[in-house]
Every structure is written in C-alpha cells, then in structure tokens.
Amino acid sequence: MPEYKHVPDPHGAIIVDGHEVANTLQCCHCGCHFVSVKGSGTVRGFCLRCSAVTCGKPECDRCVPFEKQLEIIERKAHGLPGS
Amino acid sequence: MRKYSVIGNATCTQSATLPLITLISTANIRPRINDVVLGSGASPVDQNGRFALQRCTTAGTPGSSLTPQALNPDDPAALAGSGLAIFSAGPTLTANAFVLQLAGAMRSTIRWVPKDGHEIVLPATASYGVALMALQVSAAWDLSMMIHYTE
C-alpha cells in the first residue's frame, strides 16, 4: 500500500469526502504542488540554496527561486530591462 | 489581503487544450489560490477523472465570464477575472506547467488546501493565470468547481 501521507511537514493536503488522503509538497522553483509517494521511485530534488524540495523536473534542477521566476515573467511582460 | 471565490459548473469533457475554468491575473496583483474544491451535483454514477491546474499566458475565449465574489462584502470588486467552459478558443497553455493535479471519482468531493505561504501564485501580469484541465475522464459528467484565492 503506497504511503501518501509520510511527509512530516507537508505544504498542502488533498481531502476526499472530508478525509485527508494525501499530502502535497511544493517545488521551490516552479511552485507546483505534487504528492510524494514513498517508494514510488519518482526522483525528486532538493535545492541546497533554497533548502527546500524541488519537483524533479530537469528545468527545476537549476536554482531559480519561484519568486525570481515570477519577477522574470512580470518584467518580460512589462517590457522592463533585465528580463 | 482580500479573499475571493470563483464558482462554476461545467460538463467535464476531456481536453488537453480547452479548460473547464480559468483564473486570470492582472498587472497589479498576484492572486494566490488557497482552496480548490471539485465535486458533482449530478445523479451519482461510477465515473472518474483526472484534473490539473495548468499555467496559461492568455485568457482564451470562455463560454461565459465569471465574476469573482468577495468573501468579505466590504472588500472591493476583484481585479482578477475568470472564464467558464465551454471555451471557443482555449488559452495559451504553458507546456508541462502543471501546478496541481487531482484525481477522483464523481461520487466524491475532492478538495485541495495549501498551508499558509504555499499557495499557488499567479504572476502580476495581465492575461497570465491558470486553467483547470480535464486531462482524463471516463465520461463527460457535470463538474462543480470552486476556487478560493486572495489578491
């Protein structure tokens, strides 16, 4: 039976019919939430600069904190330099 | 921090391009999604689905526009916008930018709640937002959706 609630400090919860069935973690680089399943074999990451988990996508291996990513998107959209 | 709610009902037709509901930001705010509830008020049958929030960079052409409602009546009108299916033109979806995935059955109500500080944040950019996609459904059934967010 997979363990969907093994995370000691989860970032979110999935609740079905009033019962908490799984926990989610948030990637510190892209901001996505994912369910960490113990023993699933899915490779996740950990950023030593952010000191937080990443979702494991290759583009999230490089440290660009989510706040910085938002700023990049906003500067680009507003046509500001440095984007 | 002002809190708003978006509520809509739609037939959850499977599509990788046309969303069921969208939440679209503007240039002055960073909406933060702090509650997502999916359920169905239709006669219960055994159907299931897999839904995901995907980032988008345009609003698309929704079947109808929803007005987010302030949870506190003293708060001003929402700056963010929302669109409901059936979309005649889908938003421009960001490839692989799925920020949340929920799978469940029609008979159950699925809710996702983040811890404080771990909300799904939308950039302060006009037309950028998230779209709720029905990535896989066993059949098209009536889906009730609710998104709470703060501005």
How far is residue A14's CA from residue B110's CA, in Å, rounded to a whole number?
7
Q: For residue A76, what are its two tokens?
A: 């680009």
Residue A67 sits at φ, ψ, to 5 deg, of -60, -40
Structural domain harbouring A73:
12-78
* CB–CB contacts below 8 A, A to B: 66
Closest CA of chain A from B27, distance in Å: 8
pLDDT > 70? residue A83: no
- Please determine, for residue B139, whether its predicted confidence score (pLDDT) is greater than 90: yes
Q: Which helix (H) or strand (E) holds A58?
A: none
Q: Is A64 on the interface with B (CB under 8 A)?
A: no
Three-class SS state of B52: strand
CB of A8 less than 8 A from some CB of B: no
The answer to whether B43 and B106 have CB atoms below 8 angstroms apart is no
pLDDT at A45: 95
The ipTM is 0.94
What is the reported pLDDT for A81? 74
Mean pLDDT of B93-108: 96
Report the pLDDT value the prediction gives residue A77, as an integer from 0 to 100: 85
3-state helix, strand, coil in chain B (%, to 5): 0, 50, 50
Amino acid making up residue B83: G
Q: Give the pLDDT mean for A27-52.
A: 95
Task: Over range B130-145, report the average pLDDT.
Answer: 96
CB B123 within 8 A of CB B4: no
Cβ separation of A24 and B123 shorter than 8 Å?
no
Domain tally, chain B: 1
Confidence class of residue A78 from pLDDT cuts 50, 70 and 90? confident
Chain-centre distance for alpha carbon A14:
15
Which residues of B lie closer than 8 Å to A, measured between beta carbons? 27, 30, 96-102, 104, 108-115, 118, 120-121, 123-126, 128
Task: Report the range of poorest mean pLDDT among A69-83, B17-31, B119-133.
Answer: A69-83
**Among candidates A24, A57, A73 on the partner chain, residue whose Cβ is nearest the Cβ of B123:** A73
Question: Does the beta-carbon distance from A31 to B120 stay under 8 Å?
Answer: yes
Domain contains A2: no
Residue A36 lies in a domain: yes
Residue A52 belongs to some domain of the structure: yes
Per residue in B59-100, pLDDT tens? 999 999 999 999 999 999 999 999 999 999 999 999 999 999
Percent share of chain B, pLDDT over 90: 99
Give the residue-averaged pLDDT of B28-34.
Answer: 97
**A12:B118 CB<8 A:** yes
Please give the tally of structural domains in chain A: 1
Over residues A70-81, the mean pLDDT reads: 88
Residue B71, H or E segment: none
Residue in the block written with tokens 């989860």 = A10
pLDDT attached to residue A35: 95
What is the greatest pairwise CA distance in chain B? 43
Q: Which residues of B123-144 are buried (b: 16+ CB within 10 A; e: fewer)?
A: bbbbbbbbbbbbeebeeebebb
Average pLDDT over residues A16-24: 95
φ and ψ at B61, to 5 degrees? -115, 100
CA nearest to B108 within chain A:
A17
| Alpha carbons B75 and A2: distance in angstroms, whole number | 44
> Is residue A83, in this structure, part of any structural domain at all?
no
Mean per-residue pLDDT for B140-147? 96
Q: Over 60: is that where the pLDDT of B115 sits? A: yes
Average pLDDT over residues B3-9: 98
If DSSP codes are grouped into helix, strand and coil, which group holds residue B44?
Answer: coil
Beta carbons within 8 Å of A8's beta carbon, 6+ residues apart? none
Predicted confidence at residue A16, as pLDDT, reads 96
CA B60 from centre of chain: 14
Half-sphere exposure of B82 (CA within 13 A, CB side): 24
* Tokens 């809509």 found at: B8
Distance, CA of A8 to CA of A76 (rounded, Å): 38
